[in-house]
Chains A and B, each alone.
Chain A
Amino acid sequence: GQQLNQSPQSMFIQEGEDVSMNCTSSSIFNTWLWYKQDPGEGPVLLIALYKAGELTSNGRLTAQFGITRKDSFLNISASIPSDVGIYFCAGAPGNTPLVFGKGTRLSVIA
């Protein structure tokens, strides 16, 4: 089945640093979504991308839909302690359920 490769698997950064993570796929997606999940909770939608090349921001978060439609990245600027969590990318190949990456675990050192 379809798989998403998400990297890095984990990151340790200092508070105030910028963060970048990405997802790649072997197949084309029509939609890319980025979620954040805290321990014991469900994923919370951060950003949704619907068009190749689209660049969308949500506060300190910026995500882009790759022009090949096979990749996406998420940037977090000026990280703060509450950014700690697991970030998941998810892709929708079409009118079918989402495919998720394995997540990037972010730790922020104050």
Chain B
Amino acid sequence: GENVEQHPSTLSVQEGDSAVIKCTYSDSASNYFPWYKQELGKRPQLIIDIRSNVGEKKDQRIAVTLNKTAKHFSLHITETQPEDSAVYFCAPGRGGATNKLIFGTGTLLAVQP
């Protein structure tokens, strides 16, 4: 089966600092690369996504960069705030946003005020 790994597994930053989480996947047919944020006991929320014809996408404090050749993509959060504290998952997939997604191992981000 496909392997989807995230690094680091835990990340603690000071408020205002930047955070970067990397996702490595094995399925070369993946063409959709989303990042989800999940708070304890809640559903995952899509925060940003990118498709294989684009190398980078930015939405305010959040950005995603894709290196399809190396099969990894990263989540970048700038000017972190305590409310950014959550578990973040990457979930690469084939066939776009409506096909099945394989979730990564997860990264617990703690933003210290």
A and B part of one assembly: no
